[in-house]
Structure 1
């Protein structure tokens, strides 16, 4: 397949390199748009792919959008009309929310898929990445046209297994969001790695966060409970104990975070259902304050 990537940070680099090795024709669109090729470095192996070629947009079969959540709309808006009507768009990013915007941007006949992955990728220095934790990937349809594209799960699975097609992908994204709502703000505010959250110091706060999450998720139609969410969050913290969350790194380096698409999305759904989530609100305010100070 002709596969084009927008966003070749940690997750984009992981998938792009694996798809090249699986025999696909991979190109990238970069932010600056000036490079003619891009070197992707994963686990000390370098793959060179074409960059910013006109046909990367017009001729691609699969468009993988792996940007930061707040960059999804700005990245897609300028090129959406150049895409072939049959090009399959896959959004793979942290948080939730951008898919609703993109659905209004694309034609109903343009296949739109959502994906989430638990693979761990670490950047020891800019432009180089290490695949630090093997995970799994779920993908599913965001619109009617996307429901005809379950074969994409097989394409991705062949490159980096396991990949599962999920009929209710929003539910899967919600569970990923729940974990992020616990781990990301706490590790960002306290500037600790994920494993630090396993200590007794954080358990009362994590319990409150999961109780609030469960109420909102239940109101949104998901069958879950606080103990299940707490187990999921602590399992991820344990599996990625030595890693720093993306929000932690963004705060550390004074960069914009994905707070609005993580905790912000939860707060919006809570407000919609008139559910109070004071613990999440306090974390949101603390990260926001940190962003303002750094900004």
Structure 2
């Protein structure tokens, strides 16, 4: 067992999952929650094994948990040199700042959030001697209670330095380091920019996006995103130019089928009237695109402005 604990910030589905996974890998883990105390034990219900085979298992994980205030007020000289922030994009920077005094000056700080923009905000808040590892994951996780999660689908998780160094560093967990994290973040953005707002607006599961009634909307969305990702004035052109319409279509089809019974995070947020990551997904594209994106505009506005939601839904379904 490694002696230095990981600090996991965020007790949503992803945060609870990684707290359990890190413990399974032999690490000590401390968990920071904001509003709901997960208690002393977290239940992880898995429906697949590490090879992707169907196998239902239930495991219990005893993990120390604190609020940010409790963590900073503890009578301890221990500081954390490995941190994983699993909050929403809009909370990422503040989550770090709330516990920054408890983090070492040379810490590895990882983040798992949707969209683009929050990583840069966090990078500016870090010390120059700290390393930011941006991550992407396709694990299927559902939170069914404050201390109970279901692992519904096996996926991949990767981390890469947001700002590369020479020589390159290695992420403190084996076999998760990549050198093209910006490309992977853009690829995840392409998927989220379609699946998340459509499932949220039309109140459907991920797999339902492939139904006939959304076929024209999806086809037009693939073309629109490909047009910005291939545009020479797009700021991420070197990382996004491979995302053709067919490439995006194949990614959406694969993810929608693999997570067909899952509900997107934006679906859950909209249903529970919580703030969404809309501004870091469609909002990022609208802000950074050198061309007009009428479909992304309708998707963004449908989420952002409830009073125009039904009108925008009708416009989206009339797209041919």
Q: TM-score range by the shorter chain?
A: 0.7 to 0.9
Which is worse superposed, 170-179 or 142-151? 142-151
Deviations 1:29-81 (A, max 9, x none): 22159x69643221143212122344899522210000111111121123224
Where does the alignment leave 5 or more consecutive residues of structure 1 unmatched? 158-162
Highest CA radius of gyration, 1 or 2? 2
User: CA 1:147–1:185 in structure 2 vs 1: closer, same or farther (change >3 Å)?
Assistant: farther
Of 131, 135, 147, 1:115 maps to 135
Matched, 1:262 2:274: no
Change (3 A) 1:45 1:291: farther
Aligned-pair CA distance for 1:89: 0.3
For 1:255 and 1:83, locate their aligned partners in 2 and report how far apart those are by CA, in whole Å. 29
Measured against aligned partners, the alpha-carbon deviations of 1:167-222 in whole angstroms (never above 9, x if no partner) come to: 12011001001101110100111101111111121121112212221222223212
- Who is 1:189 aligned against? 201
Offset from partner CA, 1:216-242 (integer Å, 9 cap, x none): 222321222111111101111111111
1:97–1:149 Cα change, 3 Å: same
Q: Distance in 2 between matches of 1:65 and 1:49?
A: 16
SS at structure 1 position matched to 2:216: helix
**2:212 matches 1:200:** yes
**Does structure 1 conserve the Cα–Cα contact (< 8 Å) formed by 2:83 and 2:110?**
yes
Q: For 1:110-153, what per-residue CA distance to the aligned partner results, in whole angstroms no more than 9, with x for missing partners?
A: 11100111000112334311000000111100124597431424
Q: Which of 281, 286, 289 is residue 305 of structure 2 equivalent to?
A: 289
User: Aligned partners of 2:65 and 2:165: how far apart in 1?
Assistant: 28
User: Relative to 1, partners in 2 of residues 1:70 and 1:215: Cα closer, same or farther, differing over 3 Å?
Assistant: same
TM-score normalized with structure 2 length: 0.81
Distance 1:177 1:56, change over 3 A: farther
Give the conservation status (yes or no) of the 8 Å contact 1:178–1:213: yes
- Do the aligned residues in 2 keep the contact of 1:65 with 1:72 (CA within 8 Å)? yes
Structure 1 contact 110–145 (Cα < 8 Å) conserved: no
Distance of aligned partners of 1:36 and 1:7 in 2 relative to their CA distance in 1, 3 Å threshold: closer
Secondary structure of the residue aligned to 1:204 is helix
Q: Is the 8 A contact 1:183 1:245 kept in 2?
A: yes
Partner of 2:17: 14
Give the CA RMSD over aligned residues: 2.4
1:278 corresponds to which of 294, 302, 306: 294
The verdict on how the C-alpha distance between 1:149 and 1:45 changes in structure 2, with shifts beyond 3 A counting, is same
The structure with the largest helix share of the pair is 1
Contact kept in structure 1, 2:160 and 2:171, CA below 8 Å: no
Unaligned runs of 5+ in 2: 46-57, 310-320
SS state at 1:4 partner: strand
Whole-Å separation in 2 of the counterparts to 1:205 and 1:103 = 36
Pick the aligned partner of 1:89 from 105, 109, 129.
109
Do the aligned partners of residues 256 and 37 (structure 1) sit closer, same or farther apart at CA in structure 2, a change above 3 Å counting?
A: same
Query: What's the TM-score, normalizing by structure 1?
Result: 0.88
Q: 4+ runs of 1 displaced by more than 6 Å?
A: none
